[in-house]
Structure 1
Amino acid sequence: MADVNKPVEKKFHPYDAREVEKPLSNCDALLSLVKCVVGSGCLALPLAFYRVGYIGGILMTIFMTAVLIFGLQLLVRCMVESSRQNMVGYMNFPETMTYAISVGPKCCQCLSKCAGHFVNGILIFFHYGVCVVYIVFVSINVKQVVDYNCHERINTRLYCFIVGTLSLPLFSLRHLKYLVPTNILANLLMYTGLACIFYYLFTNLPPIDEIRRFNSQLSLFVGIIMFGTSSVGVMLAIEAKMATPGSYVGWLGVLNRCALFVAVTYILIGFMGYWRYGDYVAASVTLNIPIDEALAQVAKMFIAISVFFSFPLSGYVVVDIVCNQYIAKNHNPKNPHRIEYIFRICFVVVCTANAIAFPNLGPLLALVGAFSISLLNIIFPSCIDMCLLYRSSYGPGRWKLVRDLLMLLLGLVILGYGTYSAVIDMIREYSYRAHEVKAGSSTEIKTPEEINAAQDAATLDYPIVDDVTAAGKSVKDFYL
C-alpha cells in the first residue's frame, strides 16, 4: 500500500528556475519583436510580389511566415525540454544543439561540440552582416534627403562614420529592458513612415488586370521574406529575458501575435506596392516615391531613424555570444562589464569600418541570409527535435519524425536553391559593376532630378547598390 504521507515529487520546470535581470513584460517583448522583425526588409516586398505575382505573393508570404515561425516555436520548445532534462533554468541555442546531438544517434554524437560552435558562428556572422548593412542603409537614406536639399554633397563614407559614431551611446545599453523606450519610438517612426508611403500607394492605382497574378521567379522572393520575417538570435534573446517566458509560444502567444501582425503588414505593403507601380517597382518602394515632396522625405528619414534604433537589437546577439558564452564562461574575468563595454565599442568600430570599406553588401547579404536563416530557422530545429525524441517516442505512426523530416527537406531545398541563386546574383552583379567601372559610367555626375527619373523608369533587381565611386560624387540609391 502506498504511503499517503510521502510527499509527491514535483516535476522540474525550467521556467521556475530561470533568473532574469531586468525582465521584459509581455508587452515589452511584443514591441521588441515587432521592432526586430518589421524593418527595412519590408520595403522590398513590392519587388518580391513582382517576382511571384500578387496572388502568389500573398500565398507565399503566409506559407513562409508560418514555416519560419513554426520552426522558431519548435526550437524554443526544444530548448525548454533540454533545460528540463538537464535540470537547469535555461539552455541557449548552441547548448541545446550540443546536448540534443549528444543524446541522438551514435553516428552523430561525435559532432555534438562542433555543432554548438557552428551555431554560434552562423549567428555571429548573420547578425554582424545585418548590423553593417543597417549602418549603410541609414547613411544612404539620410544622404538622399540631404543631397536633394543641399548644394554640397558629402561622401557616403563620412555618413557611415557619423552613423557608426552615433550608434555608440545606444549600443552601450547592456539590457534589453533599457531598449524598450527606443523600440517604442522606432515602431512609431517606422509605421508613421509606412503610413506616408501608403499615401502614395493608394493614389492613382492602375487597373488590377495590369499586374500578374502569378509568376515563377521565386529566388528573390524567398530571400526577401526570409530576411524580413526572421531574426533568430534576437527572437531567442527576447524569450530568454521575459518575466513570463511561458507566454512566448502557443496559439495565442507573443510570437504568434507578432507573426500575425507582421504577415498582415507585409501583405499590405507587398500587394499595394506592386499594384501601384507594377513592372516599374523598384528594389525599395521608397525609390518609387518622389524625393522632391516633403512627405516622401519625411518617410525616408523616419524609416532611417527607425532602422538606426534596430542596430542595438541585432548587435546584442553577437555581444551575448562572445562576452557571456565564451569570455565570461571560459575565462572568468575580474571585470566582465568593462570587457563587455570594450567589446561593444570594438564591435561598432569594426562594423563602421566594414560599412565604409564595402558599402555594396547586397549580393553577399543575400547569400548570408539564404544560408543562415534556412539553417537556423528550419534545419537545426528539426534536427534538434529528432535527436531529443530519438530515445523516447515520435508519437503515433511516428508523425513527429515525418514532420521533422519534411521540415528538414524543405530547409535543404531553400538552402540549396537560395545559396545557388545568391551566388549567381553575386557573379552577375560584380561582373556588371566591373564592366561599369571599366566603361567609366560610375563617375558620371547626375542631378537628383535625373536620378529620380532613371529610378522611375527601371526596375532595380539588387537589394543594395553602392553609391560610392572613385570620385565620391555620383549618387545612386541603396536598399536593404
Structure 2
Amino acid sequence: MADKGGYDPYEHRDVEVPLSNFGAFISLLKCVVGTGILALPLAFYYAGIIFGTILLVLVTFMLIHGMQLMIICMIECARRQQMGYCTFPLSMQFSLAQGPKCFRSIAKAGAIIVYIVLISSHYGVCVVYLVFVSKNAKQLIDFYVQEMNLLIYVAIVGLLMIPPFLIRTLKWLVPFNLLASILIYLGFACIIYYLFQDLPPITDRAVFFGEVEYLPLFFGIALFSITSVGVMLAIEAKMAHPEKYIGWFGILDIAIVVVVISYVFFGVMGYWKYGDEIAGSITLNLPIKETVAQVSKGFIMTAIFFTYPLCGYVVIDIIMNQFWNKTGELKHAEIKEYIVRVIFVVVSTINAIAFPDLGPLLSLVGAFSISLLNLIFPAIMEICLLYPPEYDYGKLKWKLIKDILLIIVGTCILVHGTYSSIREMIKDWGGTTSTEAPTTSEDTTETEELSPEGPSGDAPAAFLRFFEDEFLL
C-alpha cells in the first residue's frame, strides 16, 4: 500500500521486553510445528506423494500470504491512525470503517468477531494439549508402573502447567520454546528411525495421485498443521525489529521454509513406510513396547507441554491488554494477571476432565479460525483499506480479484469444515454409533493389532480423525 503520510509505525512502537530475531524464529517454529505434523503421512495417503507435495506447498503459500497480508493491513491501519501498533481486532474495525457502506455498518461487530475467534481457537487448542499430554503420559506410566484413570493424569498435568504458565513475558518463553523445538524434532528423529527400516518399493505407493475423491481430507490436515494466527501476531508485536518479520527472506518466510521441508519429508516418508496401514497419527503405527517408540512419545509429549504457555499467551494478552487493562492504569495489574492465568489453567483443566472428547468441537473451531483468520478477514481488510478514492487495487484491479478468490476459498473451507464438524458432533455426542468405529487405545497396544480405518463414505474430517486416534478416550 502506498505511503500517503510518511508516518512509520515501527518507529513509534514501544515494546517493554522485545524479542530478538532468533527468539522470534524459534517461537515461530514452535507455534507451527506441533501435533498436526503427526497426521501428515495420512494426508499424503489421500493425495499421493508428488501431488501431495505440490498441494502442501501451495496451501502453505496461500496461508502465509494471508498471514503476511493481515500484518501489512495492520501496519497500514496503524500508519493511517498514526499509532505504533494496532491490534488485529481494532485493525479489522478500522478497515471495515474505510470500506463500502455495507462494511462500515458492521465495523464494531467485526472487531468482536475477531476477539471471539482468537480466544475460542487458542483456548480449544490449550484444552486439547492437556488431553494430549495426559494421554501420552498415561500410556507410558501405565506400561511401566500401574494403570490409572486418564482424568487423574489430566488433573496432574494441569497442576504442573501452572508454574510455566505464570511467565508473563513472551521473551522469557523463548528458552521453553527452544527446548520444545529440540524435543519435538528429537521425537521426530525417533520416529524416522522406524521410517527407514524395511522400506517397501516406492512403486507400491501412490507416487503421483492418491485417493483423489478424498482431497478435502488432505486439505483438512494441511490447514490444521500449518497455521497459528494468534501466536504469529503476538510474536510480530513483541519483536525488537518487527520490520524483519515479513517480506521476502523475512523471519516468517524462513521459518515456514524450514517447516515445509520438515513436513514434506515427514509426510512422504511416513506414507512410504506404512502405506494403506497408516493411522490418523503416525505414533499409533509405532511398536509401543519398544524403547525408541516410548522415547519418541515422551519427547513429543514434553514438547507439547511446553507449548501450552505459548498458545495460552494469546488469550491472556487479549483479556488483560485489550479489555481489563486496556489503558494500562489497572492497579496491581501483575497480581491480577497472575490470578487470571491460574484461573485459565484451572478452567481448561476442568474442561479437559469434563469433556475429553474434544475432537468435533475443536474441528469446528478450527474450521472457523483457519478460514476466517487466515483467508477471509485479511482479504476483506485489504479490500476495505484500498476502497477510498486515493488508493487503488492495482493494474486491472488484480488485488481485488486476488482478494475475492481468497474469500471464495476461505468460504469453501468454512462451509465444508463446519458441515463435517457438526455432523461428527451430532454422531459422537448424540450417542449414535458408526458401523466402523475409530480405533481405540485398547486396539493399538501392539503394532500388529493396529488396523486403522481407511477412507470410507462416512470418513470424518481429516483433522477430526487425527484427534479421534491420538487424543480421545
TM-score of the superposed pair, with normalisation by structure 2: 0.92
% identical equivalent positions: 48
Pair 1:37 & 2:32 matched: yes
Pair 1:202 & 2:199 matched: no
CA distance in 2, matches of 1:270, 1:254: 24
Deviates more, 1:208-217 or 1:291-300: 208-217
The aligned residue for residue 100 of structure 2 is 105
CA distance in 2, matches of 1:303, 1:146: 15
* Counterpart AA for 1:464: F
Root mean square deviation of aligned Cα? 2.3
Residues 84/290 of structure 1: CA separation in 2 closer, same or farther (3 Å cut): same
- The answer to whether the Cα contact below 8 Å between 2:5 and 2:80 also exists between their aligned partners in 1 is no
CA distance in 2, matches of 1:339, 1:446: 44
CA distance in 2, matches of 1:178, 1:69: 26
* Counterpart AA for 1:478: F
Unaligned runs of 5+ in 2: none
CA distance in 1, matches of 2:97, 2:180: 42
How far apart are residue 422 of structure 1 and its match?
2.5
Residues 477/14 of structure 1: CA separation in 2 closer, same or farther (3 Å cut): closer
How far apart are residue 464 of structure 1 and its match?
2.3
Match of 1:384 among 381, 384, 387: 381
How far apart are residue 423 of structure 1 and its match?
2.6
Pair 1:61 & 2:22 matched: no
The aligned residue for residue 411 of structure 2 is 412
CA distance in 1, matches of 2:328, 2:289: 56
- The answer to whether the Cα contact below 8 Å between 2:95 and 2:385 also exists between their aligned partners in 1 is yes
How far apart are residue 447 of structure 1 and its match?
8.8
- The answer to whether the Cα contact below 8 Å between 1:148 and 1:448 also exists between their aligned partners in 2 is no
The aligned residue for residue 296 of structure 1 is 293
Pair 1:307 & 2:304 matched: yes
Unaligned runs of 5+ in 1: 1-8, 466-475
* Counterpart AA for 1:401: L
The aligned residue for residue 473 of structure 1 is none
Residues 236/477 of structure 1: CA separation in 2 closer, same or farther (3 Å cut): closer
CA distance in 2, matches of 1:94, 1:266: 31
CA distance in 2, matches of 1:250, 1:445: 45
Residues 478/79 of structure 1: CA separation in 2 closer, same or farther (3 Å cut): same
Q: Who wins on radius of gyration, i.e. which is larger?
A: 1
Match of 2:90 among 82, 95, 99: 95
The list of structure 1 runs, each at least 4 consecutive aligned residues, that deviate by more than 6 angstroms after superposition, is none
| 1:209-228 equivalent positions in 2, closer than 5 A | 209-212=203-206, 213-214=208-209, 215-216=211-212, 217-228=214-225
The aligned residue for residue 159 of structure 1 is 153
How far apart are residue 164 of structure 1 and its match?
0.7
Q: Number of paired residues?
A: 455
- The answer to whether the Cα contact below 8 Å between 1:219 and 1:421 also exists between their aligned partners in 2 is no
How far apart are residue 459 of structure 1 and its match?
5.1
- The answer to whether the Cα contact below 8 Å between 1:219 and 1:418 also exists between their aligned partners in 2 is no
How far apart are residue 90 of structure 1 and its match?
0.2
The aligned residue for residue 360 of structure 2 is 363
Pair 1:253 & 2:250 matched: yes
The aligned residue for residue 279 of structure 2 is 282
Residues 296/388 of structure 1: CA separation in 2 closer, same or farther (3 Å cut): same
Q: Secondary structure at the match of 1:464?
A: helix
CA distance in 2, matches of 1:244, 1:479: 41
* Counterpart AA for 1:78: C
How far apart are residue 479 of structure 1 and its match?
7.0
CA distance in 2, matches of 1:377, 1:447: 37
Q: Secondary structure at the match of 1:329?
A: coil
TM-score of the superposed pair, with normalisation by structure 1: 0.90
Match of 2:141 among 139, 146, 153: 146
The aligned residue for residue 48 of structure 1 is 43
The aligned residue for residue 466 of structure 2 is 463
The aligned residue for residue 6 of structure 2 is 11
CA distance in 1, matches of 2:258, 2:101: 43
* Counterpart AA for 2:186: T
The aligned residue for residue 323 of structure 1 is 320
* Counterpart AA for 1:397: L
Pair 1:76 & 2:71 matched: yes
| 1:265-280 equivalent positions in 2, closer than 5 A | 265-280=262-277
Pair 1:345 & 2:348 matched: no
- The answer to whether the Cα contact below 8 Å between 2:443 and 2:450 also exists between their aligned partners in 1 is no
CA distance in 2, matches of 1:274, 1:282: 10
The aligned residue for residue 163 of structure 2 is 169
Residues 318/446 of structure 1: CA separation in 2 closer, same or farther (3 Å cut): closer
Question: CA-to-partner distance for each residue in 1:299-320, whole Å, 9 max, x for gaps?
Answer: 0000000000100111000001
Q: Secondary structure at the match of 1:204?
A: coil
- The answer to whether the Cα contact below 8 Å between 2:279 and 2:452 also exists between their aligned partners in 1 is no
The aligned residue for residue 399 of structure 1 is 398
Residues 331/235 of structure 1: CA separation in 2 closer, same or farther (3 Å cut): closer
Deviates more, 1:343-352 or 1:390-399: 390-399
The aligned residue for residue 470 of structure 1 is none
